[in-house]
Amino acid sequence: METLQTWGGRFKQFFLDNKFVLFLLVLLLIGLNILVFTKTSFIFTPIIVLLKTIALPVILTGIVFYLLNPIVDLLEKVRVKRVYSILILYLIIIGLITITIVSIIPFLKEQIMSLIDNLPRYVDIVENQTKNLIGSDFVNQAQKTMNINISDLANKASAQAATIANSTFTGVGNFIGALTEVIISIVTVPFILFYLLKDGKKLPIYILKFVPTRLKEQTYTMLSEMNHRLSSYIRGQIIVSFCIGFLLFIGYLIIGLDYASLLAVIAACTSVVPYLGPTIAITPAIIIALVTSPFMLLKLAIVWTIVQLVEGKLISPQIMGKNLHIHPITIIFVLLTAGKLFGVVGIILAIPGYAVIKVVTTHLFDWFKMRSHLYEEEKNDTVPKA
């Protein structure tokens, strides 16, 4: 009996009282749960289908909610009922959409059709410039020095372009299906948005009903921080994108670049994605400037540099501030990883998703530190402070 008690005490001391061993056991249990879920993934197929169905409408509604909710709150403060505020906003939005369709869309359509008509001419110009470049003495000398066969490179590039074109035509059916889903999602957004604007303040209170009493305060703090960071990022990034598009439009008009409106709209849309968006936006502008003249390419570089400096030094610091506290290198890695995993949608949602995960992880780690007592304050100065 005494031996059993001795072994029981040793077992308790080694396993139950050893926090490192308990941590390893928890990791083991998490791994076993992941393994079980992987082997029985078919059980979750209906849930996955449901999430895929509602994901896009919910995301679009969330973006519009964060844009319109401050206006509704402001109108409510001046004693306009929330329902009436929402209806007024809906009427204003319908009017803006009507003006856009009547005045702006035809103008952009004209530029798009003109660009499509001139595309064969641009291709011929680029092809002739490439042939002249390949036949130049400088390129021939570089080819001999570096032992590179430019003709083979051109053939490989043509073959790769043909492959991309074939895959593009093959994916037209998939694109039409995706476009149908997007249209259906856009149609459902106003209905979901109305109730979210009307009763959105009650959502955190409803969530807290399922949280244990001791964790309600910390959970409420976490939800408030998530809401603040998401709203700051979405509103700020859209305002910054609009400013970039407007500045580029003015710059393109000054230097006389063709399709200034269309290129500015493309830049404004792609600038929603930080760092990668501007790189994508400048590509069509470079092609058109290169086809026009080398001097136009130089003027484009000057305009783009000025706009990026104004955006980086004045606009973004004033509008975005330091709300997300994310290092630029981290943002680039997050964008590349999300793009690899989830495609274009992943790139668009990467930064706000990372901000939410960071808030949740930070609070969970604070809770773990509080419960485990493994991170007590140092009583001496032997360990350097961060």
Q: Which of 57-61, 72-76, 181-185 has the lowest mean pLDDT?
A: 181-185
> Chain-wide mean pLDDT for the chain?
75
Q: Which of the 8 DSSP states describes residue 44?
A: G
All structural domains of the chain with their residue ranges: 1-32, 47-127, 201-372
Q: Please tell me the distance from the alpha carbon of residue 316 to that of residue 275, in angstroms, as a whole number.
A: 13
Number of Cα atoms under 13 Å in the Cβ half of residue 269: 7
How sure is the predictor about 250, in pLDDT bands with cuts at 50, 70 and 90? Answer: very high
Any idea which residue has 């690899």 for tokens? 340
Q: Which of the 8 DSSP states describes residue 148?
A: -
- Report for 22-31, 181-190, 245-254, 316-325: range of highest mean pLDDT: 245-254
How sure is the predictor about 10, in pLDDT bands with cuts at 50, 70 and 90? Answer: low
pLDDT of residue 287: 79
* Long-range contacts, 320-326 (Cβ 8 Å, 24+): 320/232, 320/233, 320/236, 320/237, 320/240, 321/232, 321/236, 323/228, 323/229, 323/232, 323/233, 323/236, 324/229, 324/232, 324/233, 324/351, 324/355, 326/351, 326/354, 326/355, 326/358
The pLDDT tens digits for 139-175 are 555 555 655 555 555 555 555 555 544 544 444 455 5
* Cβ neighbours, 10 Å, residue 282: 20
Q: What is the pTM of this model?
A: 0.66
Q: Which of 79-88, 298-307, 331-340 has the lowest mean pLDDT?
A: 331-340
221 contacts: CB under 8 Å, gap ≥ 6: 363
pLDDT of residue 313: 77
pLDDT of residue 51: 76
Q: What is the mean pLDDT of residues 111-123?
A: 71
How sure is the predictor about 6, in pLDDT bands with cuts at 50, 70 and 90? Answer: low
- Which residue has better confidence, 382 or 125? 125
